[in-house]
Amino acid sequence: MRILVVGGGYVGMYTALRLQRKLRERLKSGEAEIVVVTPEPYMTYQPFLPEAAAGSISPRHVVVPLRRVLKNCTIVIGEAERIDHAKRTATVTTLATGEDGTGALEIPYDELVLAPGSVSRTLPVPGLADFGIGFKTVEEAIGLRNHVIEQMDIASATRDPAIRDAALTFVFVGGGYAGVEALAELEDMARYTSRYYHNIKPADLRWILVEATGRILPEVGEAMGKYAVRELRGRNIDVRLDTRLDSCEGRVAVLSDGSSFPTRTLVWTAGVKPAPILAATDLPLTGRGRIRCTAALRVEGVEHAWAAGDAAAVPDLTSSEPGTETAPNAQHAVRQAKVLADNVAAALAGRPLEDYRHAYAGSVASLGLHKGVAHVYGRKIKGYPAWLMHRVYHLSRVPTFNRKARVLAEWTLAGLFKREIVSLGSLEHPRAEFALAAGGHVHPNLPADRRTRDERRTEDERRTEEGGPPGTSG
């Protein structure tokens, strides 16, 4: 018997982890097999992405290696392209698919657990695909950190006021957790970093938060949302409510209120949508593209198929309003994974299933170092206590004792020593230096700024070989 888990995020990892414990004897005897299909060999603990971007946590401590945690599962690094539940097969492309020419894998299964999560929800905004930066993966978080510091380097070195202003203007679109926490942490980091530049002051940095609705952080309640706006504006962050991004062509952010800002940094965090694989299945979906589920986390009207997390529309049994679904957040995902694994094991043993029921406890959000807001069990908390609660809660939730200890050690050391302010943007293109030295060819995917610099260096090397002084080109 094979259980196929599609997705290695919160639900996928926690479900597989609990199943390998509950089915230990079956797995040892070969009677059962758990196969996890995931695009990355790790699970990302997304609430820590803002702190990773700010340098408070190392990127490797924000992720959990699946092969280490899921020792009794088979991990397949690849993308599920199509699922035919009628035939109980999943079509999966792997890293080797294009290399060996054998085509996609056809993985048969007996039980299906769909937990592919979500992807960034974008809008047809002109220029967004060319200049926008997401904030959903650890790669995006570290890339954004490097980018912000690199923009400060550009602003410090340029003699063009227009380039300087654009480099020091940072626009974030989306007032949810991701947008607010990322902006707040990076603003903290950049303000600290500016003390090491002789010609950049904190007041030179311009941070703009664009939110289409009339409030930010709706999860923490209206009162704490208003406090968060006051806190951000008190740090000279320009918070624009009831405002949309109309265009960002030519690196100019044009807003619906008529204002425009030349900027070299536009971060898009305006919501998520279900993973595309859901549309390539024969399972029932809601109008929003999520899988219809029962309260027991079984796909509605379908045997041997289960789902939870961002991809699933799960009835909220604690709500007094009929038809309410659980919110697509980490708090529900982790708890749903436990119930899902128990129900899969119960179904295999012929035992009755358990309904998922969890009253939403509240939310906490960081607004930068030592600042935060929280709305927990009806209590409103702000400032340092909320920030501390944010850290304690997420430290308790990050998987494995190993990760907990490492994160706690890093927080302790960060309190004793100064922040790191180094940009390691070249890590994104590790072969660029060697390729340039070996053949003089610039990597086509290098950012324009670094490409221009390397092209200039190539020109200098050519002139030196010809006997002329470097740096004399127009």
pLDDT tens digits in sequence order for the chain, 474 residues long: 999 999 999 899 999 999 999 999 999 999 999 999 999 999 999 999 999 999 889 888 999 999 999 999 999 999 999 999 999 999 999 988 877 777 889 999 999 999 998 888 888 999 999 999 999 999 999 999 999 999 999 999 999 999 999 999 999 999 998 999 999 999 999 999 999 999 999 999 999 999 999 999 988 888 899 999 999 999 999 999 999 999 999 999 999 999 999 999 999 998 788 899 999 999 999 998 999 999 999 999 999 999 999 989 999 998 888 888 888 888 888 899 999 999 999 999 999 999 999 877 778 899 988 899 998 887 899 999 999 999 998 999 888 898 999 999 999 988 887 777 776 766 667 777 777 778 765 555 555 544 444 444 444 444 444 555 444 433
Residue by residue, what is the 3-state secondary structure of 330-380?
A: HHHHHHHHHHHHHHHHHHHHCCCCCCCCCCCCEEEEECCCCCEEEEECCEE
What span, in angstroms and rounded, lies between the C-alpha atoms of 432 and 441? 9
Entry pTM? 0.85
In 122-163, the DSSP E strands lie at 132-133
Backbone angles phi, psi at 215, to 5 degrees: -155, 160
Q: Cα dist. 205→150, 175, 235, 314 in Å?
A: 13, 20, 11, 43
Q: Cα dist. 165→27, 146, 158, 259 in Å?
A: 60, 18, 10, 15
In 235-360, the DSSP E strands lie at 237-240, 245-247, 252-255, 260-262, 265-268, 272-274, 291-292, 305-307, 312-313
Q: What is the helix (H) or strand (E) element at residue 170, kind and residue range?
A: strand 169-173
What span, in angstroms and rounded, lies between the C-alpha atoms of 193 and 82? 47
What span, in angstroms and rounded, lies between the C-alpha atoms of 77 and 43? 12
Which residue, chain included where needed, has tokens 């390998």? Answer: 20
